[in-house]
Amino acid sequence: QQQVKQSPQSLIVQKGGISIINCAYENTAFDYFPWYQQFPGKGPALLIAIRPDVSEKKEGRFTISFNKSAKQFSLHIMDSQPGDSATYFCAASTGGGNKLTFGTGTQLKVEL
């Protein structure tokens, strides 16, 4: 049973464009929603995270938008750069804890 659904599976964006990755969850007990970034051959690393008491969180070019009623959250990468090319995973957990349920990942490629 997949509790966090992520789309699209892959995404190609032109340099300077906006990359948007979406996730939807089923478990209303989830209360912590991080995004992880993974480069080839490496482990994932935390990029940005949000809790459901806010609808948006921005860190530099990266923004999480959160819609509690729709049980959806998304990652927006503004002014996408070739160095942003990586696989992005959304995740969720309960109790603000570390036992994360991950989405299936989105492979982003930013072209010149």
Partner 1 sequence: DGGITQSPKYLFRKEGQNVTLSCEQNLNHDAMYWYRQDPGQGLRLIYYSQIVNDFQKGDIAEGYSVSREKKESFPLTVTSAQKNPTAFYLCASSTPGQGDTGELFFGEGSRLTVL
Binding site for partner 1 (CB under 8 A): 6, 9, 32, 34, 36, 41-46, 49, 51, 89, 93, 96-105
If the CB atoms of residues 17 and 107 are measured against partner 1, the closer one turns out to be: 107
Tokens found for residue 74: 């998304």
Distance CA 66, CA 53 (A): 9
CA 97/CA 8 separation, integer angstroms: 26
Nearest-approach distance from CB 48 to partner 1, in angstroms:
10
Euclidean distance between CA atoms 92 and 84, whole angstroms: 22
Residue (72 or 94) nearer to partner 1, CB: 94
Of 2 and 14, nearer to partner 1 (C-beta) is 2
